[in-house]
Amino acid sequence: MRKNLSDATLRGHVALDSSVLVEILDGSEIGSKLTMALLNEEIIAHASFVNMAEAEYILCKKIGRGDARKAVEALLNSGYVAIEDDPTMHVLASEMKCERSISLANCYTFAVAQITGAKPVFAFKERELLKETSQKAFANEIAFLEG
């Protein structure tokens, strides 16, 4: 099921996965809609430094190191994404990584969601997330920007 930005499920506090950060930084159609939601204060975004680092290296492969760094710095300096660094988040992420077969960055997305009371948002339905969800539901309902 596709969730779009006019959907009420993407209002309020959201924990942005690296995939969503890449879409924002890359200026894709999805990313532009999310940027507008941030600017219009429809969403309050949270992320981790791990997710920012993953987004930067993915973007680096697309547009080069310098431009990727500038894009990430601009997003960090904008204040539109709160970077969470609570020590509890690191414990939660490591516990989830121990229990589940998902990437460490995805674990951080869920940990950020848990400590902030936010909805975890991913750009796409990743195979590993769907597999894990079918085996055991995540504590937070997941939103995907694209089906």
> Which residue ranges form the domains of the chain, and what is each CATH number?
8-144 (3.40.50.1010)
Burial 109-125 (b: 16+ CB within 10 A, else e): bbbbbbbbebbbbbbee
Rounded distance between C-alpha atoms, residue 38 and residue 41, angstroms: 5
pTM: 0.91
Q: Using DSSP, state whether 79 is helix, strand or coil.
A: coil
Is the dihedral angle over the CA atoms 47, 92, 145, 42 positive or is it negative? negative
Place of tokens 């490591």: 94
25 contacts 59 by C-beta, under 8 angstroms:
yes
What does residue 80 show for φ and ψ, rounded to 5 degrees? -80, -15
Tens of pLDDT along 44-69?
999 999 999 999 999 999 999 999 99
113 contacts 15 by C-beta, under 8 angstroms:
yes
- Tens digits of pLDDT across the chain (147 residues): 334 454 545 789 999 999 999 999 999 998 988 999 999 999 999 999 999 999 999 999 999 999 999 999 999 999 999 999 999 999 999 999 999 999 999 999 999 999 999 999 999 998 999 999 999 988 888 999 885
66 contacts 72 by C-beta, under 8 angstroms:
no
